[in-house]
Structure 1
Amino acid sequence: MSMRIGFIGLGQMGFPMFLNLLGKRLDTNTEMVGYDKSSDHMAGLRRDWPDAAPYLAQDEAALADLDVIITMLPNGAAVRESLLGSADNPALVDRLASNATVIDMSSSSPMDTRALADILAERNVQLLDAPVSGSVPKAREGTLAIMVGGATDIVERMRPIFMAMGSKLIPTGAVGSAHGMKALNNYVYAAGLLAMSEALLLGKALDLDLSVLIDVMNASSGRNVATETKAKQHMLHGGDFKAGFGLRLMAKDLGIAASLREHAGFNPPQLDLCLSLWQQACEQLPPEADNTEIYRYMAARLGAYL
């Protein structure tokens, strides 16, 4: 497979994904170019990663004639602007190669993704939505789980690209389905982390051994990703509260999940409550707070002791 691949969004998740893709180039003729709109960030990457520097674009003009463009941006609005342009920037989609493929690996609204897919199709560009599950360490290891929505033949053609960044690829159906499933998955995770945090605070009030409490959960029906990979590793006994996924990103994904209620025609009450608590935590905690900080936020909110 010989092609020209661009990667937009070289942040905490995007840059290690780009490095893995760069390190596992599918063919000696495959060209790679990475870009982030922050010139300061790009300068820092060139300084700190000299081996990757030749593959980092000097400006957006280097993104022309791409066969594949991968986006890993904060939200769907940023993806749309990067592709369709704005008053200050020409549309990138009009500078792509014929029959190009856009792979949006951001966490975006499935309804917005479907609308964007229709706009791109009018320009003979195909869209796959391919959000990832896993934090920064998994992005570095190349062991992300990747959901992908879109035409089966295009998904299979792009499979080697996905497997350079992740260890599991899950086709989810039509365009937009992967973004929908990612939002709902993150809701279930956020609810589990929140419930575990409250249980730990209750356990602390009862003078229980919290490590043993987590062992009980992990051997019983209370087991979830938070109990298995967050509590002892990042939250208890002087934990670092650095699990690799921002609290604000979690709140954003909960907002996407909550927006689906308009399409569904009903309002899930637990989702509404969960979103409200995470949004309030965002207001109280610093911008860089990790999602595991919800534990300390709930302790302060409830007047409990850690």
Structure 2
Amino acid sequence: MGPIGFIGLGMMGLPMARCLLAKGHRLLACDTSGTACAALREGAPAGRLEFAPTPAAVAAGADIIVLMLPTSAVVAQVMEGPDGLLGALRPGALVIDMGSSVPAETRRLAALAAARGAALMDAPVSGSVTKARAGTLAIMVGGDDAAFARAEPVLRGMGETLIRCGAVGSGHAMKALNNYVYAAGLLALSEALQMGARLGLDLGVLTDVMNASSGRNVATETKARQEILSGRYAGGFQLGLMAKDLETAGAIAEETGFDAQALALCRRLWREAVAALGPKVDNTMVHRFLGGAPDKP
């Protein structure tokens, strides 16, 4: 196998790229941040890492290209912009979009790649930065059997659980809908803790009750004591990224014509929280926002 192209060395992309290097893969990496490139270079095995100045240069030197980018708009820029991937993709090339993109946009870009004899598939991830570092992410894969067969060795270098979701775009759709359900659970937990505090309840016991009863969800299990009651608010997922995933779920609601009223409420509250707190704080800070404490701890 030749080098794997890797574009996007952000909070998740950097540890994912490091995992690929640690598993023996060669990388041809690209990022607009010199700091991120320097961080990947530090400690990289000799002879396994090169950098390309543009996405087009990545496409010229790699047949499998991983994208770990923040939004569909950025993916489109990397694909279609000046010195983008599309103009340089070779027949047989495979692009793997591992960010959280809008499914309809993923399908559009896949059609453009197919017109050049290449393929684009989606493989968004679930898990914290800690799991990205450990290479134990869950990965939701959208694409046909041929694309999956080529991508699987690369994906297993970064993830522990690979879930085949269906056709191109299905992985991005399922990731967005999953994150909506998580956000709804976190919102309910945060409101319950705020009401419990005003009643003078023992919030640790309330958390135990929820985790032993029907209110249990991933937020009650992994965020209540660990991040909210402790005042740490450092679960590893930014408030702005949560808001972005909710907007992606909103795009699915619009595409399907479904009147998702609970989703609309989540979207509104997360937009307001981002406006008050900024996009970079942890997503568990929605608890402080709901309590009327917009200041950072």
Which category of TM-score, normalised to the shorter sequence, fits these structures?
over 0.9
Q: Is 1:264 matched with 2:260?
A: no
Among 174, 177, 180, the alignment partner of 2:170 is 177
Identical pairs, percent: 52
Question: TM-score normalized by structure 1?
Answer: 0.90
Per the TM alignment, residue 39 of structure 1 is displaced from its structure 2 partner at its CA by 2.8
Runs (4 or more) in structure 1 with deviation over 3 Å come to 43-46
Among 106, 121, 126, the alignment partner of 2:119 is 126
Among 216, 220, 232, the alignment partner of 2:209 is 216
Letter aligned with residue 288 of structure 1: K
Match of residue 242 from structure 1:
234
Letter aligned with residue 272 of structure 2: Q
Aligned pair count reads 292
Per the TM alignment, residue 45 of structure 1 is displaced from its structure 2 partner at its CA by 4.5
Q: Is 1:39 matched with 2:64?
A: no
Unaligned runs of 5+ in 2: none
Per the TM alignment, residue 40 of structure 1 is displaced from its structure 2 partner at its CA by 4.0
Q: Is 1:144 matched with 2:137?
A: yes
Letter aligned with residue 274 of structure 2: C
> CA contact under 8 A between 2:89 and 2:116: conserved in structure 1?
no
Unaligned runs of 5+ in 1: none
> CA contact under 8 A between 2:18 and 2:40: conserved in structure 1?
no
- Deviation digits for residues 186-244 of structure 1, max 9, x if unmatched? 0000010000000011111121111111111111111111111111111113x311111
Greater shift after overlay, 292-301 or 103-112?
292-301
Q: Distance in 1 between matches of 2:203 and 2:50?
A: 47
Q: Distance in 2 between matches of 1:257 and 1:92?
A: 27
SS of corresponding position for 1:214: helix
Q: Distance in 1 between matches of 2:2 and 2:44?
A: 21
Per the TM alignment, residue 90 of structure 1 is displaced from its structure 2 partner at its CA by 2.3
Per the TM alignment, residue 274 of structure 1 is displaced from its structure 2 partner at its CA by 0.7
Match of residue 228 from structure 1:
221
SS of corresponding position for 2:177: helix
Q: Is 1:283 matched with 2:257?
A: no
Question: TM-score normalized by structure 2?
Answer: 0.93
Aligned CA RMSD, in angstroms, stands at 1.9
Among 76, 83, 108, the alignment partner of 2:79 is 83
Letter aligned with residue 208 of structure 1: L
Per the TM alignment, residue 31 of structure 1 is displaced from its structure 2 partner at its CA by 2.9
Q: Distance in 2 between matches of 1:101 and 1:166?
A: 18
Match of residue 69 from structure 2:
73
